[in-house]
């Protein structure tokens, strides 16, 4: 038996309602998987900031680093006006744990009229998000602002390698019998190297090189310019399997793709580094529905499965995905964001029954 130690960071708002659901599904996994879990409750978020003066306590980071195999992060509230000393704990966590990839699967039920099943792999450490900006005066005294877009061979290589590995793993899950619209693995490299020949050019050529590794012999590789990609993503989303992109394009594409499946409450993500993964639903703390037990837990349950994939527990992950799909396909116990009447607890219990 393998024991995994999982940090639980509910954060604020509905994070406190969906992260316990994530814990329940791990505890409910069949004994035949020979997996045990230990949980560590950890703090972060705006409430933590108000209580302690820091949004991300060092203890949370140190415990994750030294004691945990993975973690689940709920959501945090950000004040609408800047509050002195407050900055987003998830952004800080990604930095401090070097979680260099943001992975976002976007999947509809396979019984949908036009089913989609893609995953966006976003580089998470560089590009325009290095935040090296400056403002200066033009000759006529008007202002000019500029920002550095940094693309490195190292970061591009490792993100493309991860995309290749995800493509192989998705194929493995399909081979084990999971329903899917794709027959063979494919990675689409996103860039704008027709204009940005050096930065995006480096991303493109490095990604190509990484995916030319014989390990990825079975993975098809194609590339697409980001603007035409947006067009095709909305017209023919079913054609995509794995998309790999630099930070900014990946950010925009992944929010856009999330809109294709109808509710934020369905879309999971994972922040991934060497040997560590944090599962995180894509939605925020949803103050408008907090405390009512109506938040959709599926984004979190899928984030649990995604975390397990990166901890090399594909079989357990596949069980969770299948149980969630079963709930959605039957469509009897759906939360209000999907037009249903079921509570968070009822949705979770229906999914647990299907495990």
Q: What's the number of CA atoms in the CB half-sphere (13 Å) around residue 107?
A: 29
Rounded to a whole number of angstroms, the minimum distance from the CB of residue 219 to ligand NAD is: 30
Comparison of 206 and 296: residue with beta carbon closer to ligand NAD: 296
Comparison of 47 and 69: residue with beta carbon closer to ligand NAD: 47
Rounded distance, CA 131 to CA 150, Å?
10
- Collapse the DSSP code of 116 into the 3-class scheme (helix H, G, I; strand E, B; otherwise coil) and give the result: coil
Rounded to a whole number of angstroms, the minimum distance from the CB of residue 311 to ligand NAD is: 21
Q: Of 186, 187, 289, 348, which one interacts with ligand NAD (CB under 6 A)?
A: 289
Comparison of 284 and 326: residue with beta carbon closer to Mn ion: 284
Contact of residue 241 among Mn ion, ligand NAD, none (CB under 5-8 Å per partner type): none
Residue with tokens 């089913």: 115
Closest residue to bound ligand NAD by CB: 284
Q: Which residues of 237-274 are buried (b: 16+ CB within 10 A; e: fewer)?
A: bbebbbbbbbbbbbbebbebbbebbebbbbbbbbbbbe
Rounded distance, CA 193 to CA 125, Å?
20
Which span sits near ligand NAD by CB under 6 A: 59-67, 121-129, 223-231, 288-296?
A: 288-296
Site size toward Mn ion, by CB under 5 A: 2
Q: Of 178, 264, 352, 355, which one interacts with ligand NAD (CB under 6 A)?
A: 264
Largest CA distance in the chain: 73
DSSP-derived secondary structure for 140-197 = TS-EEEEE--B--HHHHHHHHHHHHHHHHHHHHHHHTT---S-SS-EEEEEE-TTT-T
Rounded to a whole number of angstroms, the minimum distance from the CB of residue 10 to ligand NAD is: 11
User: Interface residues for ligand NAD in 203-262 (CB under 6 A)?
Assistant: none
Contact at 8 Å (CB) between 299 and 335?
no
Q: Of 221, 286, 320, 351, which one interacts with ligand NAD (CB under 6 A)?
A: 286
Contact at 8 Å (CB) between 76 and 50?
no
Contact of residue 251 among ligand NAD, Mn ion, none (CB under 5-8 Å per partner type): Mn ion
Contact at 8 Å (CB) between 74 and 10?
yes
User: Interface residues for ligand NAD in 36-75 (CB under 6 A)?
Assistant: 75
Q: Of 56, 68, 71, 76, which one interacts with ligand NAD (CB under 6 A)?
A: 76
Rounded distance, CA 188 to CA 220, Å?
8
Rounded to a whole number of angstroms, the minimum distance from the CB of residue 106 to ligand NAD is: 15
Asked if 307 touches ligand NAD (CB under 6 A), the answer is no
User: Interface residues for Mn ion in 235-274 (CB under 5 A)?
Assistant: 251, 255
Rounded to a whole number of angstroms, the minimum distance from the CB of residue 255 to Mn ion is: 5
- Site for ligand NAD, rule CB under 6 A: 14, 75-78, 90, 264-265, 283-289, 295-296, 299, 337
- Site for Mn ion, rule CB under 5 A: 251, 255
């Amino acid at each position: 038996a393998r024991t995994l130690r999982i940090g639980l960071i509910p954060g604020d708002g509905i994070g406190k309602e969906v992260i316990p659901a994530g814990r329940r599904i791990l505890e409910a996994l069949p004994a035949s998987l020979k997996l045990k879990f230990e949980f560590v409750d950890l703090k972060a978020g705006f409430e933590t900031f108000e209580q302690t003066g820091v949004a991300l306590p060092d203890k949370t980071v140190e415990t994750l680093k030294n004691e945990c195999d993975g973690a689940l992060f709920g959501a945090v509230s950000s004040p609408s006006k800047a509050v002195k000393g407050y900055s987003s704990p998830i952004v800080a966590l990604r930095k401090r744990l070097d979680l260099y990839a943001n992975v976002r699967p976007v999947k509809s039920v396979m019984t949908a009229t036009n089913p989609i099943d893609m995953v966006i792999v976003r580089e998470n450490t560089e590009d325009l998000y290095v935040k090296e900006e400056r403002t200066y005066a033009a000759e006529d005294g008007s202002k000019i602002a500029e920002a550095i877009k940094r693309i490195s061979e190292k970061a591009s290589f490792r993100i493309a390698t991860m995309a290749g590995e995800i493509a192989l793993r998705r194929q493995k899950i399909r081979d084990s019998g999971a329903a899917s619209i794709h027959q063979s693995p494919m990675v689409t490299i996103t860039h704008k190297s027709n204009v940005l020949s050096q930065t995006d050019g480096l991303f493109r050529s490095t990604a190509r090189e990484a995916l030319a590794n014989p390990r990825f012999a079975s993975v098809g590789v194609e590339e697409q310019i980001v603007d035409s990609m947006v067009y095709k993503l909305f017209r023919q989303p079913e054609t995509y399997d794995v998309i790999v992109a630099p930070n900014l394009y990946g950010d925009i594409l992944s929010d856009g793709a999330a809109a294709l499946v109808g509710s934020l409450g369905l879309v999971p993500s994972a922040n991934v580094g060497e040997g560590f993964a944090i599962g995180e639903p894509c939605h925020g703390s949803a103050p408008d529905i907090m405390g009512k037990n109506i938040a959709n837990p599926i984004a979190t349950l899928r984030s649990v499965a995604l975390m397990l994939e990166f901890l090399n527990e594909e079989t357990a992950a596949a069980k969770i995905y299948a149980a969630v799909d079963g709930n959605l396909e039957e469509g009897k116990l759906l939360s209000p964001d999907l037009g249903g009447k079921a509570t968070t607890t009822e949705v979770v219990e229906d999914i647990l029954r299907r495990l």
